[in-house]
C-alpha cells in the first residue's frame, strides 16, 4: 500500500506539492491525474526517494523508500521513456539492471518474452519506437517482481494497440494483488485503464476514490419519435423508489438518469412507445475534472487533454 500524508514540496517560491494526503490500495489500478505542472512527477519522485519532501511523509508498505529492505523487490518505478543508453541493446540494458538487483539472466529472458521484446532484444535502443521504450522501461521496473508499481505517464505515445496491451497487462498485475499507481494528464487515455483515481491540481488534492463513485452513474441518451409520452411514462415509473430524471435535449432525444437502457426499452415496449436508439453515456473523467474545478479555466501552463481536443486553455 502507498500512503502519502500531508506531503509538501517547495522549490524556492514554487510549491510543487501542497499538504497532499491519499492512499493507494493493492489489487486495483489507480490513476494519478492532473494537468501539466500539477505535481504528479514530484510526488512520485518523493515516493521513490529521488526527491526529499519539504514536510510530510510518503511511504510504501509503511516505510519511506530509503528504509525499505529490498527496494527493487518492493517497488518498480518508471519515470522517463528514454532512460536507456542509446548504444545498448534492450537485453544489455536489462542485464545491467538485473546485475545491480542481483537477478539472474533468466529473468531478463523471461521479461523480454513477457513484454513482447524478444525479437527486438538485440537491437540498439536508439532505434526503438516510443511503445518499445515504454515496454523496456516496464520490463526494467518489473525485474524484481515488485509488489508496488509506480508508472509516470506510461501511456504516453502509445498507439491504440499499445494502449490495449497496457490495459490488459496492468489489469493482470493488479489481479495478482499488486499496488499500481499510474500518472497521466490525458484523461481519456486512462479512463478505461483505472479503477480508482487521485486527482490533483496545483499540488493539491481535488478528489480521491473509485472512479465509478466519483464520476457518478451513466446516463442513457434515448431517441424516440414518442419522446413526450415516453417522458411522462418514465417520470411516472418507480425504479428503486425514485423515478428516473429525464431531460429533453432536442430532436426527439432525452437524457435519462436513474434507469438503464434495458429498463427504458422494457418500459417503452410495455407502453407501446417507439424507441429508435439507446446510447449509454459513461461519465467521462473530463467531466469529473471540470466539475471538481467548478468549470474554472485552466491557465496556459496547464494542459489536460481528452482524445478530441485540448480541454481548456485560459486566455
Ligand atoms: N527540480 C525542480 N525545480 C523547480 N521546480 C520544479 C522542479 N520539479 C518540478 N518543479 C515544479 O513543480 C511543479 C510540479 O511539477 P511536476 O513535474 O511534478 O508536475 P506534473 O504533474 O508531473 O506535470 P506534467 O503533467 O507536465 O508531467 C511545476 O510547477 C514544476 O515547474
Ligand atoms: Mg510529470
Residue nearest to atom 8 of ligand 1 (CA): 42
Any domain includes 296:
no
pLDDT digits 0-9 by tens, 165-184: 888 889 999 999 999 999 98
Q: Is residue 205 domain-shared with residue 237, that is, in the same domain?
A: no
pLDDT digits 0-9 by tens, 22-37: 999 999 999 999 888 9
pTM of the model: 0.81
What percent of the chain stands above pLDDT 90?
Answer: 57
- Say whether pLDDT at 314 is over 50: no
Which atom of ligand 1 has the smallest separation from the CA of 34? 21
Any domain includes 232:
yes
- Say whether pLDDT at 60 is over 90: yes
Please name the residue that has the C-alpha cell 474554472.
296
How many A from CA of 39 to the centre of ligand 2?
7
The span from the CA of 267 to the CA of 262, in Å, is: 9
pLDDT of residue 277: 96
Q: Is residue 93 domain-shared with residue 238, that is, in the same domain?
A: no
Q: Select from 143, 165, 145 the least CA-distant residue to 154.
A: 165
At 63, the pLDDT band (50, 70, 90 cuts) reads: very high
Contacts of 187 (CB under 8 A, 6+ apart): 33, 284, 285, 286, 289, 304, 305, 306, 311
Most confident of 39-43, 135-139, 217-221: 39-43
Pocket probe for ligand 1: among 4, 8, 11, the residue whose CB has the most ligand atoms within 8 Å is 11
At 310, the pLDDT band (50, 70, 90 cuts) reads: very low
User: What is the mean predicted confidence (pLDDT) over 228-247?
Assistant: 87
Which atom of ligand 1 has the smallest separation from the CA of 44? 18
> How many domains, in total, are found in the chain?
2
CATH number at residue 42: 3.40.50.300
Q: Is residue 113 domain-shared with residue 21, that is, in the same domain?
A: yes
Residue nearest to atom 18 of ligand 1 (CA): 39
Q: Is residue 39 domain-shared with residue 166, that is, in the same domain?
A: yes
pLDDT of residue 294: 64
Whether the CB of 145 sits within 6 Å of ligand 1: no
Instruction: Decide which of 167, 194, 211 is a domain's last residue.
Output: 211
What's the angle, vertex CA 80, arms to CA 302 and CA 83, rounded to 5?
155
Which atom of ligand 1 has the smallest separation from the CA of 15? 12
Structural domain span for residue 191: 2-211
What does the DSSP 8-state code read for residue 228?
H
How many A from CA of 24 to the centre of ligand 1?
21
Q: Is residue 178 domain-shared with residue 265, that is, in the same domain?
A: no
pLDDT of residue 254: 96
The span from the CA of 114 to the CA of 142, in Å, is: 10
Proximal ligand: closest to the CA of 54: 1
DSSP helix/strand/coil, 1: coil
pLDDT of residue 212: 81
pLDDT digits 0-9 by tens, 75-131: 998 886 556 778 889 999 999 989 988 899 999 999 999 888 899 889 998 888 888
Phi, psi dihedral angles at 304 (to 5 degrees): -130, 120
Cell, residue 174: 493488479
Q: Is residue 118 domain-shared with residue 247, that is, in the same domain?
A: no
Proximal ligand: closest to the CA of 17: 1
pLDDT of residue 300: 56
- Say whether pLDDT at 10 is over 90: yes
Most confident of 11-20, 83-92, 241-250: 11-20
pLDDT digits 0-9 by tens, 153-166: 888 878 888 888 88
Provide the H-helix boundaries in 176-283: 187-191, 211-215, 227-236, 261-270
Residue nearest to atom 30 of ligand 1 (CA): 37
Amino acid at each position: 500500500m502507498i500512503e502519502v500524508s500531508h506531503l509538501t514540496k517547495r522549490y524556492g517560491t514554487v510549491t510543487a506539492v501542497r499538504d497532499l494526503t491519499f492512499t493507494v490500495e493493492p489489487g486495483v489500478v489507480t490513476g494519478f491525474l492532473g494537468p501539466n505542472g500539477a505535481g504528479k512527477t514530484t510526488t512520485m519522485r518523493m515516493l521513490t526517494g529521488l526527491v526529499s519532501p519539504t514536510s510530510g511523509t510518503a511511504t510504501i508498505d509503511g516505510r519511506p523508500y530509503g528504509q525499505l529492505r529490498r527496494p527493487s523487490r518492493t517497488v518498480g518505478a518508471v519515470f522517463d521513456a528514454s532512460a536507456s543508453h542509446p548504444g545498448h541493446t534492450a537485453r544489455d540494458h536489462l542485464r545491467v539492471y538485473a546485475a545491480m538487483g542481483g537477478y539472474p539472466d533468466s529473468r531478463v529472458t523471461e521479461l523480454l518474452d513477457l513484454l513482447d521484446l524478444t525479437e527486438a532484444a538485440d537491437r540498439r535502443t536508439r532505434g526503438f519506437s516510443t511503445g518499445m521504450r515504454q515496454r523496456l522501461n516496464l520490463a526494467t521496473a518489473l525485474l524484481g517482481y515488485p509488489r508496488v508499481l509506480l508508472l509516470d505517464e506510461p501511456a504516453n505515445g502509445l498507439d491504440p494497440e499499445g494502449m490495449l496491451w497496457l490495459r490488459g497487462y496492468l489489469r493482470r498485475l493488479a489481479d495478482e494483488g499488486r499496488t499500481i499507481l499510474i500518472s497521466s494528464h490525458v484523461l481519456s487515455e486512462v479512463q478505461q485503464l483505472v479503477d480508482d483515481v487521485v486527482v490533483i491540481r496545483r499540488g493539491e488534492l481535488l478528489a480521491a476514490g473509485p472512479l465509478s463513485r466519483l464520476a457518478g452513474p451513466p446516463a442513457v441518451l434515448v431517441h424516440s419519435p414518442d419522446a413526450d409520452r415516453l417522458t411522462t411514462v418514465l417520470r411516472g415509473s418507480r425504479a428503486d423508489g425514485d423515478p428516473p430524471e429525464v431531460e429533453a435535449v432536442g430532436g426527439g432525444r432525452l437524457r435519462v438518469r436513474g434507469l438503464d437502457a434495458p429498463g427504458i426499452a422494457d418500459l417503452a415496449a410495455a407502453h407501446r412507445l417507439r424507441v429508435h436508439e439507446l446510447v449509454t453515456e459513461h461519465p467521462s473523467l473530463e467531466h469529473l475534472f471540470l466539475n471538481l474545478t467548478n468549470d474554472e479555466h485552466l491557465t496556459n501552463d496547464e494542459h489536460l487533454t481528452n482524445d478530441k481536443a485540448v480541454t481548456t486553455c485560459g486566455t
